[in-house]
Amino acid sequence: MWYVCIGSKSLKFIINKNNSRSIIRGFSTFSLRMKAHTENALAVTNSFKNHVEVTQVIYLAFECYA
């Protein structure tokens, strides 16, 4: 549950401890999740690149675009 406290000069959000644990856990696993997303995207684009009916694949992570 989110609680909103309106201060004299700013809007402040106070969250309960269960939500804060989830947010911290999300930050700690962010790099692992992004690495997995990148690897999956590269696998998909490689499969498109090797497909017979696909004429062009533009993906900035390919070495030819670096």
- Is 15:4 a contact under the CB 8 Å cutoff? no
1-10, 13-22, 35-44: range with lowest mean pLDDT: 1-10
Residues 10-26 have pLDDT tens digits of 556 677 777 778 888 88
Q: Could you give the angle at the alpha carbon of 25 between the alpha carbons of 3 and 27, nearest 5°?
A: 90
Q: Is the pTM of this model over 0.75?
A: no
pLDDT tens for residues 43-57?
A: 998 899 889 999 988
Q: What is the pLDDT of residue 53?
A: 92
Q: What percent of the chain has pLDDT over 70?
A: 71
61, 41 contact by CB (below 8 A) = yes
